[in-house]
Amino acid sequence: MKYLDLTVLFHDSMPSRIYLSILYQNGYCPKKIIYLKFRRGTKYNIAKNIIGERLLNKIIEKRKSKFIDINFANIFLEKFNLSYELLNKDIKAYSKEYVEVDVNNLQDQNLIDYLSNEETKTFLFTGGGILRKELLSIKDSKFIHIHPGIVPDVKGADGLFWSYLLRGKAGYSCFYMNEGIDTGDILQKDEYQLHKFKNIDLDKYKKEELYKYMLHYYDPCFRAQTLVNLIKKSEQSNQELNQLNYEVQNPEDGITYFFMHKKLRDFTLDKMVKEMID
């Protein structure tokens, strides 16, 4: 296992877990995982004091799983040799060092101070909000992010779906983040054909479900694969992840897209499903 000179800012979500799992599959682990523990409301804190945080979180996860069609999630995950069950393993196994940091949000001064004192200042941002100037301006830091869309052509929201509608493929860009929306210095750009799903009736699912499951279980796998491609390229060129060659973006170039209107989104999903089941 190769330990990368990389610190993962972990937000507990399936996309974050997919990053760690696919890195591990390819023989990589970050040197450190910082689990961002966003402070909960009053009801959560009262329950935590009564039954304990560990048991409370198990109850919450069990309730969440009732609303998840695990078989549907696995349809997408299996294309990347993953499963919903595998993604729920203890993330401590994916790193040399693990720490939990309590924060109110991503602008929390406690988080800024903590990251300022980190030895490894190359961070992978896996989601959970928007990074502001104070965090991105930490001295000697680099924040890596993978966006669904080939920038600058496809910036903004619903990138997987805009990419497919406009370019016919799932497009992904990896860059060093800056204060703009998807305007950072470009490190890697990849496009992927959608997988074929034989003997699976994707048409039986409602469009809202298809959109949600592709967003949470399919799109993050492509993001993680793009990160792996970047890491392999860095190894071939013998460059550190914070000193990679990059392409400077002009923030005025390209188009920033918003979330698709439902009618256009359904039209795009129909096109995607037709390709995936043909």
Q: Is 245 exposed, middle or buried (0-12, 13-18, 19+ CB in 10 A)?
A: exposed
Rg (CA), the chain: 19
pLDDT band, very low/low/confident/very high, at 238 (cuts 50, 70, 90): very high
Backbone dihedral region for residue 266 (phi beyond 0: left; psi -120 to 50: alpha; all else: beta): alpha
Measured CA to CA, the distance from residue 11 to residue 249 in angstroms comes to 27
What share of the chain in percent tops pLDDT 70?
90
- DSSP assignment, residue 235? H
pLDDT band, very low/low/confident/very high, at 57 (cuts 50, 70, 90): low
> At residue 113, does pLDDT exceed 60?
yes
Residue 216: φ, ψ to 5°: -95, -25
Give pLDDT, residue 43.
52
Q: Is 162 exposed, middle or buried (0-12, 13-18, 19+ CB in 10 A)?
A: buried
Residue 177: φ, ψ to 5°: -70, 145
> At residue 53, does pLDDT exceed 80?
no
Give pLDDT, residue 32.
97
> At residue 63, does pLDDT exceed 60?
no
Measured CA to CA, the distance from residue 101 to residue 122 in angstroms comes to 17
Q: How confident is the model over 84-98, as a mean pLDDT?
A: 93
Give pLDDT, residue 47.
55
Angle, helix 42-51 to helix 53-65, in steps of 10 degrees: 120
Measured CA to CA, the distance from residue 187 to residue 248 in angstroms comes to 9
Mean per-residue pLDDT over the chain, rounded:
91
Please name the amino acid found at residue 152.
P
Residue 84 structural domain: 2-277
- Bigger pLDDT: 154 or 128? 154
- DSSP assignment, residue 247? B
Q: How confident is the model over 6-16, as a mean pLDDT?
A: 94
- Bigger pLDDT: 150 or 202? 150
> At residue 105, does pLDDT exceed 60?
yes
Report the number of distinct structural domains present in the chain: 1
The pTM score is: 0.91
Give pLDDT, residue 118.
93
- In the chain, the N- to C-terminal Cα span, in Å, equals 39
Q: What is the CATH number of the domain that holds 24?
A: 3.40.50.170
Q: How confident is the model over 122-151, as a mean pLDDT?
A: 93
Q: How confident is the model over 62-80, as a mean pLDDT?
A: 82
- Bigger pLDDT: 43 or 253? 253
Q: Is 68 exposed, middle or buried (0-12, 13-18, 19+ CB in 10 A)?
A: middle
Give pLDDT, residue 65.
53
